[in-house]
Structure 1
Amino acid sequence: MSRLTLILSASLCAAVASPVAAQEAPVPERPRLIVAIAVDQFSADLFDQYRSHVTGGLARLARGVVFPSGYQPHSATETCPGHATILTGSWPSRTGIIANDWIDLDTAREDKTVYCLEDESVPGSNSDHYTVSPKHLRMPTLGDRMKAVAPATRVVAVSGKDRGAVAMGGKGADQTWWWGGKGFVGYVGAPVPNTVTRTNAAVTKRIATAQPALALPAYCQPLDRAIPVGGGRTVGTGRFARAAGNASAFANSPEKDAATLALAAAFVQDLQLGQRSTTDLLAVSLSATDHVGHSYGTNGAEMCLQLTSLDRDLGNFFDVLDATGIDYAVVLTADHGGHDLPERNRQLGIADAQRVDPALAPSAVGKIVAGKLGLAENPLFGGTGGDIWIDPKLTSDQRAEITAATVAHYRAQPQVAAILTRAEIEATPRPTASPELWTVAERARATYVPDRSGDLMLALKPHVTPIPHGSRGSVATHGSFWDYDRRVPILFWREGLVGFEQPVPVQVADILPSLAGWAGITVPSNEIDGTCRDLIAGPQSSCR
C-alpha cells in the first residue's frame, strides 16, 4: 500500500462521497472541476528524462495534450513568481511578484527584505517569520476571475509551501492551506475545517511511523552513484529512510507530496468539488521535487525515487477523482526548472559547470566600489544573481558613479554573462518573439516592476551555480536566465479529450487563457500576457 493510500484511507474516512453514475453522453462543454497542478522544479528536462518510465498519473497526463516546451520566459525563475504566473496568465512585470523576496530600502522596519507573500505591516513580521498575505499579488488568478462571474464557485488551494497555495489560489479562495512544519496551516485566524484536522491527524500518524529505505527501481540504478560535494558530504545514493517522528525528513521527501495530495482529495470529497452546477477549481502545488533538487540535485537516485513516487501518487489521486464520477480537467506544469549540481555536471560532460565565486556577491563588490569612490558604507544590496539595489539615501550623482563602477566591475568578471541597468531594462520593449528567442534584456524586462525591482540585474553565465559551497545546505538550485530553469512541460488532460503533442515553444502564461472557456470566463487579451492554445485536435477550436 502506497504512502498516499495510507494517508488517504485515514483522512477521508467516512467522508468519501458516493460515486456518481458514469455518463454515456458527450463530453460537456464545461468540466465541473478544474484541477491545476504545479510540480515545483519539474523541468522539461526531467519530464523528458523520465517520460518513458512513468506508468501512473504522469503517464495519464502524457497521453493528453502535451506541450513539452512550455516556458516561464522571464528571468525570475523562482517559486513565488513562477506560481504567480501559472493561474494569472501574466509575467512578473504584471503580477508584481519579481522574486521569492526583494529588498525595500525605504521601509521603516529594520529588516529591509520583504517576502513575496508577507504582510509586512503586521507588527513583528519579518522576512523569516512573517504573516502570510496575498497583498503583493497584483493580478487576479483563475479562481478570482471564476468567482467574479459565478460567486458560488468553490476555489481550494493546497501546497507544500505557502507561496504555492497563495499565488495559485489568489485573494478570493475559499480554502488556502500549506505545509507548516508538522502539518497543514492556513491564514492567521482562518477557521480550521475538519478536512484539515482529519488530514493532519493522519499525517501525524504517518510521521510517527518510521520510513524504511525506498527500493530503487531498475531504471534508477544507473544513477546510484556518490558525488562528493565538499566537506566529506556526498549526494546521489539517498533512499529517504526516516526515523519515526522526524517531521523534517518527512517534509523533504516524497512523503510530503503524498500528504498534499491526500489533503486535496479530502477537500474534493468534503466540499463536493465538481458535484454542483458551477465549475470549481482545485489548485495543488507539490513541493517535494524542489526539495529533492536542492538537497540532492536533479540527476541522482534521489530524484529518480522522487519522480517514481510522484507518478504513483498522482495516479492514486486521479483514481480518487475518478471514483466520484465527476467530469474534471487537469493541467500540470511547473513554476520553474532546475539545474544539477556542478560536481556531477562536470562528470556528465558539462566542462564549464562551476560554483559561483563568493567575490561576486554584492556585499563583496560593494566594498570594492565603496573603496574606489571613497564611500563610508557598502552601497549595494542583493544576492548573487538577479536584482541588486543601490542605497537610495545617496545623491543622484553618487548613484550614477556607483552604477558605472559596479557595471564595469561585473562586466570584467569571467562568470558574468550580463549586468543590466534599470535604464537599459526600461528601454527594452515588451517581448513579442517566441520565448526561446528572447534576449537577456527581454527576459529581465518581463520580470521588471519599477517600484520593486533593483537598480541593476545580474545574470551569471550558464552552468554557474549561485551557491558558493556544496558542503552545507543546498547543493543545487534554479533562478537563472537560462532555459534549464525556464523550460517546463505543460500537460492537459480530460476524459474524452483527444491527445496530441505540440513541440512548438509556448508559455506558462498561456494556461489561463487556454482554460478560460472551460472555466466559463472571458479574459480580455490586453489584461494578460498569455495566449490561448487550442486544445482540440480537429477543425474546432477551444479558443474563443
Structure 2
Amino acid sequence: MLKNVISGLLGLFWVFSCPAQNKIVSTKSADSNSKPRLVVGIVIDQMRYDYLTRFYNKYGEGGFKRMMNEGFNCKNNHYNYVPTYTGPGHASIYTGTTPKYHGIIANDWYDKEIKKSVYCTGDDSMKSVGTDTEDGQMSPHRMKTTTFPDENRLFTQMRGKTVGISIKDRGAILPAGHTANAAYWFYGKDKGYFISSTFYMDTLPNWVNEFNNSNVVASYLKPWNTLYNIETYTESGNDLNDFEGGFKGKETASFPYDLNVLKEKNGGFDILKATAYGNSIIADFAIAALNGEQLGQDNMTDVLAVSFSSTDYVGHNFGVNSKEIEDTYIRLDKDLERLFKALDTQVGKGNYTVFLTADHAAVEVPSYLQSVKIPAGYIDFKAQKNRFTEFMEIKFGTSDLIENVSNNQVFLNRAKIEELDLDLDDVQEALVNEIIMYPNIDKAYTATAMSSQEFNTGIEALLQKGFNQKRSGDVLFVYDPAFISYGKTGSTHGTGLNYDTHVPLFFFGKGIKHGQTLQKTEVTDIAPTMSALLGISFPNGAIGQPLEFVLD
C-alpha cells in the first residue's frame, strides 16, 4: 500500500515538475498512412539565398513562391563546415553530417595512401551503363556513412525505392546513398543521354531508353534568349561587361546564344549544361521517372533525389550578378512549377513531401567587387605552390617534403620526413608560420591542431567539421574574404564565409507546417528532420537535429 502511494506521488511530481516533457508528448497513435508516399529532395547547385529575394518579383506562383506560401521557409540556413563544394554539399544534406565523418572532403582530393588524386564518386571496379566511355564508372563507395534514403530502404525492408537524378554524377549518386535502386546522370558530348553504373543495374530500363531516344534533349539546342524583355531584368548587372566568360565561337558573353551553332565548339550536347535549358532537361527526366519508376504509388515511402546542376555551370561561367543567372532562375522557377504539378497529378497533392536547398552558394566576381571598391582579388596558385616548395628546401634542405597542394591543403611526404628524422609537428608548424606571412592568406592551421583541439566557433570550427583525419592534409589555409584562386571571369565557391554558406531551405507538403523562421539552421539538420518525419533511424553519422518547428 505504502509503495503504491509513494509511486503515485512520484508520478504526480513528474507530471507537475516537467512541463517541457509534457509539452512534446503526443496522444496521436502511429499511422503508416500519415507518412508521405514520396519524399522529393531538391538541391539547386550554387544557389545563394538572396536569389529568392532578388528575383522574387519575376517568379510565378507555382514554383519558389508555392513553397513559401504553402511550406516552411528557413531563412537563415547555413553550411557548418569548409569546404563548400558540390560533392561534400550533396553528401552532407543527405547524411546529416559533415566531411569529418562522411569522408567526402572535396570533389577531388589527394589520396595519401595511393599517392594520387581521386574523384569523390569514381569507381574503377564498376562499368558504365548506357555509354561505352568511362563516364559511368561511378559509385558512392567513398562515402563512409548512410543517407536518410538508405535508412528508409532499411526500414522498409528494401521495398521503399530510392532514385537519384542530376546533370552531375555526384549530384545523383551521393544523395541516393549506398542502397539506391538507381542513379542517373547526363552524358552530353555527342549523345545527350542519361546514363548509370553497374553499381545499380546492368542495363538501362525501357523508360530511360525511350527518353534517350526521344527528341527531348535535342529540342533544347536552340537559341537561348531571355524569357522576358531583357530591359526588365533590373535585378542583375549589364549584359555586356568584363566579368563574364561566355562560350567559344561567340565574341561577347551577351544574349542571345544560338546553342545549335555554338555546340560544335563547346562540347556538343555539353553546352546545354551551362544554360538554363539544362535544368529543364532534369525536370523533364524527373517527371518521366515518376511514372517510369512508379514512385509514390503505394504506402511504402519512396525517395526521389533531384539535383539541378546547370545553375552552377551558369554561375561559374557568367557570375552571380549576370543577366544569364537571372534568366536561369526565372526559368528554373517554371521548371519547379512543372515538377510540382506532375507530383500533384501522379502522386497526389497531400501525398508527398518536398525539401529544397543548395549544396553551396557563391561569391560575387572579385573583379566586379574591385570595380565597386570592395576588397577582393585573385590568388596565383602556381606561384604560391612554388613558394611553398622553395621554403621547404631552404628550411629543411629538400624539395621532396611536399607531395601535393590542393583544396587549400598541403599534404606532406611523411615517409621522407621520417627518413630525414624530422618531427612531423615541427614541419607542419614551420609551414603554418611561413604561409601565414603570405599576402591574402587569412588563416593557417596544422592537422595536429585540427585533431587535438576542439573549436566551437569561427572559421576554425568550420574547418574542423570539414577535416577528416585520414583523408585531409597536414596544413590547412584560408584566403582573405573574396580572394579566390580562379579565373578573372565568373564566380566560384568553397569558403566558410556567408556568401558561400547561406543557402535556401524550404520544406513543404505532407507533414509540414506553414511558416518561416530566422532562427539559424544548418544543412546537417535536413536528414534528421526527414528521418523524424518518416519515423525511421537517423543516418548513422548524423550530427544535425530534427527541426521540430517545421513538422506538423
* TM range, smaller chain: 0.7 to 0.9
Give 3-state SS (helix, strand or coil) of 2:141's partner.
coil
Q: In 1, are the aligned partners of 2:443 and 2:478 still within 8 Å (CA)?
A: yes
The farther-off stretch of 324-333 and 74-83 is: 324-333
Counterpart in 1 of 2:155? 149
1:311 maps to amino acid: D
Q: Do residues 486 (structure 1) and 501 (structure 2) align? A: yes
Distance in 2 separating the partners of 1:203 and 1:502: 44
Residues 69, 231 of structure 1: CA spacing in aligned structure 2 closer, same or farther, 3 A cutoff?
Answer: closer
In structure 1, the residue matched to 2:206 is 194
TM-score normalised by structure 2 residue count:
0.83
Runs (5+) with no aligned partner, structure 2:
1-30, 128-133
Q: Which runs of 5+ in 1 are unaligned?
A: 1-25, 432-437
Distance 1:514 1:102 in 2: 30
Taking the aligned partners of 2:176 and 2:245, their CA distance within structure 1 comes to 41
Aligned to 1:304: 326
Q: Distance in 2 between matches of 1:448 and 1:155?
A: 29
Alignment check: 8 A CA contact 2:72 2:513 kept: yes
Q: 2:412 aligns with which of 378, 381, 390?
A: 390
Is contact 1:214–1:241 with CA below 8 Å preserved after alignment?
no
Residues paired across the two proteins, number: 494
Structure label with greater radius of gyration: 2
Q: Cα RMSD between the aligned structures?
A: 2.8
Q: Aligned to 2:55, which of 33, 50, 53?
A: 50
1:275-325 Cα deviation digits (max 9, x unpaired) = 112111100011011001111111110100110111011111111111125
Q: Which aligned pairs between 1:398-413 and structure 2 lie closer than 5 A?
A: 398=422, 399-413=424-438
Q: Aligned to 2:98, which of 83, 91, 110? A: 91
Distance (whole Å) between structure 1 residues aligned to residue 375 and residue 121 of structure 2: 36
Q: Which residue in 1 is equivalent to 2:222?
A: 210
Identical counterparts, % of pairs? 26
TM-superposed deviation, 1:255: 1.1
Secondary structure at the aligned position of 2:416 is classed as: coil
| 1:318 alignment counterpart | 340
Cα distance between partner residues in 2 of 1:364 and 1:129:
36
- Whether the 8 Å CA contact 2:82–2:462 is kept in 1: the answer is yes
Residues 252 and 292, structure 1, Cα contact 8 Å, conserved in 2: yes
2:100–2:468 contact (8 Å) kept in structure 1: yes
Counterpart Cα distance in 2 of 1:488 and 1:428: 29
Structure 1 residue 236, shift from structure 2 partner:
6.2
Paired residues of 1:30 and 1:517 also in contact (CA < 8 A): no
* 1:429 counterpart letter in structure 2: E
Corresponding residue number in structure 1 for 2:536: 521
- Structure 1 CA distance for aligned equivalents of residues 172 and 245 of structure 2: 36
Residue 201 of structure 1 deviates from its aligned partner by: 2.4
Question: Which amino acid is the alignment partner of residue 227 of structure 1?
Answer: N
User: Following the alignment from structure 1 to structure 2, what is the Cα–Cα distance between the partners of residues 230 and 268?
Assistant: 37
TM-aligned CA deviation for residue 51 of structure 1: 3.0
1:277 maps onto 2:305 in alignment:
no
Q: Structure 1 residues 278 and 348 mapped into 2: Cα distance closer, same or farther (>3 Å)?
A: farther
Rate the CA distance shift 1:232–1:335 in 2: closer, same or farther, 3 A. closer
> In 1, Cα distance between the equivalents of 2:294 and 2:464?
42
On the 8 A contact 1:32/1:278 being kept in 2, the answer is yes
**TM-score between the two structures when normalised by the length of structure 1:** 0.84
Quick one: which of 344, 347, 359 aligns to 2:368? Answer: 344
Q: Distance in 1 between matches of 2:253 and 2:498?
A: 24
Identify which of 475, 488, 499 aligns with 1:470. Answer: 488
Write the letter of the residue equivalent to 1:294.
H
Q: 1:290 to 1:227 in 2, by over 3 A?
A: same
- The structure 2 residue matched to 1:459, chosen from 467, 471, 478, is 478
User: Quick one: structure 1 residues 278 and 240, their matched pair in 2 at CA, closer, same or farther if it must change by over 3 Å?
Assistant: farther
Q: CA deviation at 1:212?
A: 4.5
Q: Secondary structure at the match of 2:46?
A: coil
Amino acid paired to 1:443 = L
Taking the TM superposition and a 5 Å limit, the aligned residue runs for 1:45-444 are 45-55=50-60, 56-63=62-69, 64-107=71-114, 112-119=116-123, 131-150=137-156, 151-181=158-188, 182-188=192-198, 190-202=202-214, 206-207=218-219, 209-217=221-229, 218-221=231-234, 223-229=237-243, 237-243=254-260, 246-326=268-348, 327-349=351-373, 351-358=374-381, 361-377=384-400, 379-383=402-406, 385-396=407-418, 397-398=421-422, 399-429=424-454, 431=456, 438-444=457-463
